[in-house]
Structures are given as structure tokens and as C-alpha cells.
Amino acid sequence: MNTDYDLMIVGSGLVGASLAITLADQGLKIALIDANPPHNPAGRPSYDDRGIALAYGTRRIFEAMHVWRDLEPDAESIKAIHISDRGHFGFTHLRAEEENVPALGYVLTARRLGQTLLAHLAKNTGLDIIAPAKVTAIDNQPEQVTVEVAQADHQCRLSAKLLVAADGTHSFVREQLQMPTVRLAYGQTALVANITPEQPHANCAYERFTDTGPVALLPMSEGRCKLVWTVLDDQAEAVMALDGQAFMQAFQQRFGYRLGYFQRVGERQSYPLGLLRARQSVRARVVVIGNAAHTLHPIAGQGFNLGIRDVAALVDVIRENRNDIGAAKALQQYQAWRESEQRVMARATDGLARLFTNPLWSLRLGRNLGLLALDAMPFAKHRLSRAAMGLNGRLPSLARGIPLG
Ligand SMILES: Cc1cc2nc3c(=O)[nH]c(=O)nc-3n(C[C@H](O)[C@H](O)[C@H](O)COP(=O)(O)OP(=O)(O)OC[C@H]3O[C@@H](n4cnc5c(N)ncnc54)[C@H](O)[C@@H]3O)c2cc1C
């Protein structure tokens, strides 16, 4: 086995795997290290049954990576997004046709996405996949970075010019390098399930803001919808314990009857919610991306979409700095590019999560007028649609649909 690489990627979740696939045939010596067994998605957050919403911009990146054709058959398109405040008058409607795109986004299960990425990884014989293996120590020096890797029966040291940490919310690398973070607890838990409504979803996604937190219903295949229901932490256990029928009735109270009565609900999962953002995402020879750099409230389904845009930007920076992919100049270039979108997206999802749970009538009135005004202002709606599609700001080559040469 090699011990000296150009690039080491820690974490083969959705984000780390996407980076490895994209760079696999670019003439770099790459190691991909993950604590879980290779090609076995069981028990990993990136590979569970929850539906995941992919922005239109993410589709473009996957097209340029030659991955989209394998995802498309299972991806249900989102043609419209209806945003409203439960029990109040404000609402707005975003539509794909107004943006001249075939869809604002797509929904498929994280499991399907994960399996497809793992299948593409398996085709890339140029990569060293080191798993199950845990990074247990890190030494980043100006000229190279070295890690200790623990496997079942032995320990080894690996070095590289650049280490990319895609090791998730509890990132070992970020913690070890004491990178400063902003952390907020919401006291909310997201309940996620697939649910079948009486009426066809007609490819419309619904975001409703309620006094206990937002709920979302996203169109999926076979007439199902992905439900994301945010409840206060102290209610989560009781709601999870309801039987299927009682759960659907309780959700019906929150969501209303816009799609008729709910008919069936699948397995439910719960995720405690918080916000985490690394104030800086680079250190000497190290860059932190994906959930390790920013873990968002799932209110707008943007976490992975932001992570794949980290991947696309990093790929451009690496290709522009072929002589030394981990040089300080390259890392500063990456940070300057990504910092503002990461900060804006974290603030926006945090603001939405808080604003819409505030019971003050003046805020309620303001946000309802805001939603109505938004509906009447094509330019503001266009900006919101572009943000939801991941098409605002400076776009990396992959996000413009340009495959790597
Ligand atoms: C309820 C919910 C709904 C969501 N819905 C959406 C949505 O609709 N759209 C969207 O874009 N996003 C959504 N997200 C966010 C999305 O799921 C995440 O952003 C994405 O899965 C993060 O992937 P990742 O690869 O960054 O991290 P992870 O999936 O956490 O992967 C990290 C990997 O690192 C490995 N690892 C960790 N430590 C080590 C170590 N020391 N050594 C070696 N390996 C290590 C782990 O084994 C793991 O495989 C949602 C999230 C939640 C909770």
C-alpha cells in the first residue's frame, strides 16, 4: 500500500464520495479513508431511507460527473414550491416554468443516492479505499500533512499534500485542529418519513411554517411524499410513539388537507436539530467540507446541496493549483470563494427556523406580509428560486455543467 499521496479524503459519506469520484481520473494519487466498511452503506447517515432533495444546480453537477443518468430514473422532479404560514394568510409560490428550468429540484432516497455513489467509487480502481479505518491523529505541517490510521489489526501513517475532511458533523479533523465553530441548539427534532396522500402531489413541494417549527412535504416516486416534521424536543418521543394512524392524524392537523387525507406512512426516523458552522474551513494542508464545515437545519433541504457545491469549488481550485494542491494560496482561494455562501445559507436557514416559530403577532403579521409581497415581486422571487436551485453567485465549472477534461 502507498503511504504518500497527493490527496487524502477522510469520510466517504455523500460529500467525500462525490469528491473522490470527481477527482479519481485526474492523475492524482488519492486515498479515501472511512470508519465504515467499504461499499456497505448500513448504519450510515448518508445512506438511510430518508428522502433527500437535490437542487437543480446539484443535478447539473451530477450530470457533469456522469452520475445523473443513474439517478434520474428514481428522481421525482419538484416543479413548484408552495411556501405558507399555517393558519395565516401569507403564502408564495415558486415555479420551475418561471425560471425556464425543467425542475427546481428532485427528490430521491439518500440510500439510492449513496448506493449510486458507492457503485461509481467501486469502478475507480485508481483510488486507494482504506476502510474500515479510523483517523486517530493528525499532524499538519507547512509542507505536508500526516495522519495515523487505525484498522482492525494494525496502525499505519499516511501523508499527503492535502487532506480534505468530509468526516461529518462531529468531525474529528475539525476538532483536532481546534477550528472555531458557531453552534446553536434549536430544541427541535426533525421527524422524517415517507407518506402517501389521497390526492396526487402534482410534483409540488410544500413548506409550511407552524408555531412549533416548520413542516415540509416533498414529492417522491409512486405518489409518495417525503415528510419532514419539526417538533419541539420534549414532544418528539410522544409523537414517535404514536401508531401509524394516530401519527398521520396528528400530522394532518399540522399540514392541513391540501392533498386530502393521508393514507399510509412508512418507517419514521428522528434527528435532533442544531446548527454548526466552522468559522474557518482551512488550516495548513487541510480543508473541511460538507457537514464537517456546516450542518444546517433541514428546513430548506440545503445541507448536502451546499456540500456538493463545496466539492465543485474545491475541484476547480485543485485543478488550478496542480503544482501544489495543498499550498496556502490554494486553500485561501477556496475559503474566500466558499465562506460567503456558507455563512449566508447558515443564517438564512437559522433565521427561517426561528422567525416562523416566534408567536409575537407583529412578527407574524410582518412575515405574512413578507410572503405576500414576495409573491407579488418577480425579481425577489427569482432571487429566492435561484438560491433554492443553488444557482446564485460564482458557479464552479461542474455547476455550470462542464465535465472535467
Ligand atoms: C432530517 C434531515 C433531512 C435532510 N434533508 C436534506 C435534503 O433534503 N437535501 C439536502 O441537501 N440535505 C439534506 N440533509 C443534509 C444531508 O443529509 C447532509 O448534509 C449529508 O448527508 C452530509 O454528508 P457528509 O458526507 O458531509 O457527512 P456524513 O454523511 O456524516 O459522512 C461522514 C463520513 O465520515 C466518516 N468518518 C467520521 N469520522 C471519521 C474518522 N475519524 N475516520 C474515518 N472516517 C470518519 C463516517 O464514517 C461517515 O461515513 C438532511 C439532513 C437531515 C438530518
* pLDDT tens-place string over residues 353-387: 665 555 555 555 555 545 455 455 556 667 777 88
Cα–Cα distance measured from residue 68 to residue 72, given in angstroms and rounded to the nearest whole number? 6
CA 45 – ligand 1 centroid, Å? 6
- Give the CA radius of gyration of the chain: 21
- Bond prior to 214 in cis (omega within 30° of 0): no
Q: What phi and psi, each to the nearest 5 degrees, are found at residue 81?
A: -125, 125
Pocket probe for ligand 1: among 291, 294, 302, 305, the residue whose CB has the most ligand atoms within 8 Å is: 291
Of the candidates 103, 56, 93, 60, which has an alpha carbon nearest to the alpha carbon of residue 302?
56
Residue 350 placed within a domain: yes
Residue 374 has a pLDDT of 47
Pocket probe for ligand 1: among 275, 304, 310, 345, the residue whose CB has the most ligand atoms within 8 Å is: 304
Q: What percent of the chain has pLDDT over 90?
A: 64
The total number of structural domains that make up the chain: 1
The CA dihedral of 45, 354, 306, 48, to the nearest 10 degrees, is: 20
What cell was used for 265? 406512512
Structure confidence by residue, pLDDT tens digits, 215-252? 889 999 889 999 989 898 999 999 999 999 999 999 99
Average pLDDT over residues 9-31: 96
Is there an atom of ligand 1 within 6 Å of 44 CB? yes
Residue 158 placed within a domain: yes
CA 15 – ligand 1 centroid, Å? 7
Atom of ligand 1 nearest to the CA of 305: 11
Of the candidates 352, 344, 356, which has an alpha carbon nearest to the alpha carbon of residue 306?
344
Angle between helix 303-320 and helix 14-23 axes, rounded to 10 deg: 30
Residue 89 placed within a domain: no
- Ligand 1, atom 52, lies closest to the CA of 298
Residue 291 placed within a domain: yes
Is there an atom of ligand 1 within 6 Å of 114 CB? no
CA 99 – ligand 1 centroid, Å? 30
Whole-angstrom CA distances from 375 to 1, 55, 202, 293, 366 are 58, 21, 20, 33, 14
How does residue 17 score in pLDDT terms, banded at 50, 70 and 90? very high
Average pLDDT score over the chain: 88
Residue 318 has pLDDT above 90, yes or no: yes
Pocket probe for ligand 1: among 156, 167, 176, the residue whose CB has the most ligand atoms within 8 Å is: 167
Which sign does the torsion angle of CA 121, 123, 128, 129 carry? Answer: positive
CA 119 – ligand 1 centroid, Å? 18
Whether the full predicted model's pTM is greater than 0.85, yes or no, is yes
Domain of 116? 4-77+108-182+274-357
Is there an atom of ligand 1 within 6 Å of 105 CB? no
Is there an atom of ligand 1 within 6 Å of 135 CB? yes
Residue 30 placed within a domain: yes
In this structure, are strands 30-33 and 51-55 parallel, antiparallel, or unpaired?
unpaired
Query: Could you tell me which residue, 47 or 225, shows the higher pLDDT?
Result: 225
Residue 214 has a pLDDT of 80
Residue 378 placed within a domain: no
Residue 305 placed within a domain: yes
Q: Determine the distance from the C-alpha atom of residue 183 to the mean position of all C-alpha atoms in its chain, rounded to a whole number.
A: 17
CATH code of the domain containing 9: 3.50.50.60
Residue 237 placed within a domain: no
